[in-house]
Chains A and B, each alone.
Chain A
Amino acid sequence: MNADGSEVRQLTSGKLESDPCFSPDGKWVVYTSMGGDSPEPVLWKIPREGGRPVKLTAALSAHPSVSPDGKLIAFFLQHTPQAPLRLAVMPFDGGEPIKIFDAYSSLDPLQQPIVRWAPDGLALAYIETREGVSNVWKRRLDGGPPEQLTDFETDQIYWFDWSRDGMQLVLSRGSETGDLVLVRNKV
């Protein structure tokens, strides 16, 4: 689809595909696919103009983000369906991860495990939810402790992105409330 909403066309025809993201040169779309040759989520890429999809890994993997230089893909990795999520990085052409971080603590079903590259390509940002409160944290690829980027004390963050100059974060955040409602038929 063009940025103005015109010329919408279907790129893939799998059963369950999600989390699409462009490579920086705009030539590829990287995405998560389920229900094709594997019942588990796996990362694929397909040319923007369409064509044959390329499987990037056989590992349980989802939620990709391509590095600013187009050489790497950050994503969430699971060694087995019951194992904790881990943040990982692999080459854009696929294959084995070249970097795997510690377990990703949040498994709140309402929260997307989203990863975004810092604009300089040296760090990854992700959402951490602790006791129902989300904040965005950053990990440098070359190591060091996690760095907290936001200071929220309530609510959950559902999605976020980094501005191109690295100076701003945009995010969606809020909460879900549920009420029991008694419905009576009119007599």
Chain B
Amino acid sequence: MTIRTEHNSNIWLVNLADRPTVKQSGEAKAPPYRRAKQLTHGSNKYEGLNGLTFAPDGSIRYVSVERGSRDIWSTNPDGSEHKQITDEPRTGVRRPSHPMGASSRLPPRARES
């Protein structure tokens, strides 16, 4: 018996300019996902799980294991020009973790899943 873990993580874009009003804590909820657009699809590619950022040129850079190793990829906010930036075959998937916290003071950073 073993445990098979599937980790779905995909890239989403939220357009804050579309918000008709600013929602404060405790107010009624707006419809979910109304302004969220999913840019990547699929499972076990861990897209953005280990980091993502806007580049100064407006493209989105994110970590993905689409080709088996943990590498930096790029896409435009409309989902076009999906391309691989780095090629580091020695790296694998790493679950997110943090070095602080009441329950885990030391980081399980080296843990691979």
Contact = CB atoms under 8 A, between A and B. Distances in A.
A associates with B: yes
Interface of A: 1, 3-5, 8, 16, 18, 32, 34, 39-41, 60, 62-63, 76, 78, 81-85, 107, 109-113, 136, 145-154, 158-164, 166-183
Interface of B: 1-17, 22-25, 29-36, 39, 47-56, 58, 60, 62, 72, 77, 85-87, 95-109
B25 A168 contact: no
A147 B30 CA distance: 13
Contacts of B50: 159
Contacts, number: 188
A176 B5 contact: yes
Given A148-B23, A170-B53, 12 more contacts: A3-B85, A107-B101, A136-B14, A147-B25, A151-B36, A153-B29, A159-B48, A159-B51, A163-B77, A169-B16, A177-B7, A179-B4
Nearest to A167: B17
Nearest to B72: A5
B2 to A, nearest CB: 5
Contact of B103 (A18, A76, A107): A107
B62 to A, nearest CB: 7
Given A5-B87, A16-B109, A177-B8, A110 B3 contact: no
Contacts of B104: 109
B42 to A, nearest CB: 10
Nearest to B27: A148
A56 to B, nearest CB: 15
Given A84-B102, A85-B101, A172-B48, A151 B15 contact: no
A113 B104 CA distance: 13
B16 A168 contact: yes
B14 A18 contact: no
B99 A41 contact: yes
A171 B11 contact: yes
Nearest to B10: A174
Contacts of A5: 72, 85-87
A149 B16 CA distance: 7
A172 B14 contact: no
A134 B54 CA distance: 20
B11 A176 contact: no
A176 B100 contact: no
A112 B96 contact: yes
A170 B60 contact: yes
Given A172-B10, A172-B52, A180 B98 contact: no
B100 to A, nearest CB: 5
Given A34-B99, A176-B6, A178-B5, A152 B36 contact: yes
Contact of B48 (A158, A167, A183): A158
Contact of A164 (B14, B54, B97, B102): B54
